[in-house]
Structure 1
Amino acid sequence: MIWHLIGAIFAALGAAGLGLLLRLASGKRLPKWIIPVFAGLGMLGYQIHYEYSWFDHKQSQLPPTAQVVDTKQDSMVWRPWTYLYPMTVAFSVVDQSSMVPREADEHQLVEFILYRFEKEYVDQLYHHPFLMNCSTAEMVPLSEESRQPRLDALRSVDEESRLYRAVCSAR
């Protein structure tokens, strides 16, 4: 977080310097307030760039076996530009190297961990184990301690979804 503050300060200083150069190049005909306006625009530009590059940056830190299976884009009132270009605020990942294929009663089962990254003031990471039945396209969460299926939370999965394809193509 401190590095983003330092980055914003340097972006503000650079943009303010550009405003000063423009003022000097115009023979001081541009008003003095152009310098702090450029500084504010520099900080705003840095923040927008950071927020829109967050997803790509996090994705580059993932291992090669990790596959993004879901993204969530959102718009916010205090960021009016997100209504034109929604910003990625969360995504889910499956790491194919941690999948455990199983077979039971002629059903192809795959145990996997679903990771969820959320962009907040401090990035959040949640992970939860699941069991996917590739034969019936059903998914059930596993309890953290005993790794037993919680059948009350059984749900169907679309066979065309990225989650189903990522999990069931690895078997």
Structure 2
Amino acid sequence: MIWHLIAAIFAGLGAAGIGLMLRLASGKRLPKWIIPVFAGLGMLGYQIHYEYSWFDHKRSQLPATTQVVDTRQDSMVWRPWTYFFPMTVSFSVVDQSSMVPAQGDDDAQLVEFILYRFEKEYVDQLHHQPYLMNCDSAEMVPLTSGSRQPRLEGLRPVEEDSRLFQAVCSPW
């Protein structure tokens, strides 16, 4: 976080320098307020660039075996430009190298996997939860963290054409 503050300050200083150079190049015909306006625009431009490149940056840090299965875009009042271009604020990932296939009691194809959820906040959040997917009935159930026992109250259906179902069940 401190590095983004430092980068925003330097972006503001660089843009203020451009404003100063434009003022000097015009023979000081441009008003003095052009310098702080350029500084503010430089800082705002850096912040907007950082917020919109967050998803691509996080995705580039993930292993090649991961697959993005869900993204959520949102608009915010204090960022009015997000109403025109919604910003990605969270996404979910499945790591296909950590999936474990199993056979159910009735020969159902079961796959155990971990669903990772990344959320963009002032400090990035990462939540993970192990799940068990029944590829035959298109249902998934969360597992307890320690004993890996299914929590049946969390059983939910999954659309067969969803990216989550395709990522988990298609390799098997």
TM-score of Structure 1 vs Structure 2, range by shorter chain: over 0.9
Q: Report the residue type matching 1:153 in the other structure.
A: G
Match for residue 157 of structure 1? 158
SS in structure 2 at match of 1:3 = helix
Q: Distance in 2 between matches of 1:138 and 1:121?
A: 34
User: Partner residue of 2:39?
Assistant: 39
Q: Which residue of 1 aligns with 2:144?
A: 143
Aligned equivalent of 1:96: 96
Distance 2:71 2:49 in 1: 19
Aligned residues: 171
| 1:55 maps onto 2:55 in alignment | yes
Distance 1:117 1:110 in 2: 22
Q: Secondary structure at the match of 1:129?
A: strand
What residue number does 1:25 align with?
25
Which residue in the other structure is 1:126 paired with? 127
Q: Name the aligned partner's letter for residue 131 of structure 1.
A: L
Greater mean deviation of Cα atoms: 38-47 or 103-112: 103-112
Tell me the alpha carbon deviations over residues 77-123 of structure 1, each in whole angstroms, 9 at most, x when there is no partner: 00000000000000000000000000111100000000000000000
Query: Which letter maps to 1:94?
Result: V
Residue identity opposite 2:118 in structure 1: F
- Amino acid aligned to 1:76: M
- Runs (4+) of structure 1 moved beyond 2 Å? none
* Pairwise CA RMSD: 0.6
TM-score of the pair, normalised by structure 2: 0.98
Spell out, residue by residue over 1:31-66, the C-alpha distance to the aligned partner (whole angstroms, 9 max, x if none). 000000000000000000000000000000000001
Corresponding residue number in structure 2 for 1:117: 118
- 1:77 counterpart residue number: 77
| Counterparts of 1:155 and 1:118, CA distance in 2 | 23
Alignment partners' CA distance in 1, 2:171 and 2:72: 24
Aligned to 2:87: 87
Partner of 1:125, secondary structure, is: strand
Q: Distance in 2 between matches of 1:139 and 1:146?
A: 17
What CA distance in whole angstroms lies between the structure 1 residues aligned with 2:117 and 2:76? 21
- Secondary structure in structure 1 of the residue aligned to 2:17: helix
State the AA in 1 paired with 2:122.
Answer: Y
